Amino acid sequence: MPSTTTTAAASSLTTLNLTGSSGASAKDAEDLDMYDEIEIEDMTYDPTLQIYHYPCPCGDRFEISLGSLREGEDVAVCPSCSLMVRVIFDLEDLVDDEEEGSDEEEEEKGKGKEEEEEGKEKEEK
């Protein structure tokens, strides 16, 4: 049951409602704290740290881990200030661990083949 306090002062009547609920949902309150909404495509992925990041106005950057995104988290935070952004994404937009690893392996194989070809060309000369 909400408590109500009534105070009379200087011919005016003030009523305070002390229920602690403003009628807004937690989701609405959370949205008010968001600095912005960012598409995952606009963020940069760091495969070493497995995080997505985006520049923050304070000079640092918003960060969210790949694991957090896969678990359904969609709020990236800045470690230097209190700003947060909501990340807009679909699960299929996320980088696959297997895909990331195979890309790196293919790049290494490609570099090795180029070096072999350069070595053969030098031997032929």
| Domain 28-117 superfamily per CATH | DPH Zinc finger (3.10.660.10)
> How far out from the chain centre does Cα 9 lie?
50
Six-digit token string for 119: 């070595």
pTM of the model: 0.54
Q: Could you give the CA distance from residue 18 to residue 23 in angstroms, rounded to a whole number?
A: 12
Q: Is 56 helix (H, G, I), strand (E, B) or coil?
A: coil
Single-letter amino acid code for the residue at 81 = C
Sequence spans of domains, the chain: 28-117
Give the angle subtended at the CA of 40 by the CAs of 39 and 41, to the nearest 5°: 90
Q: pLDDT tens digits, residue range 15-62?
A: 444 444 443 334 444 555 889 999 999 999 999 999 999 999 999 999
User: DSSP letter at 89?
Assistant: -
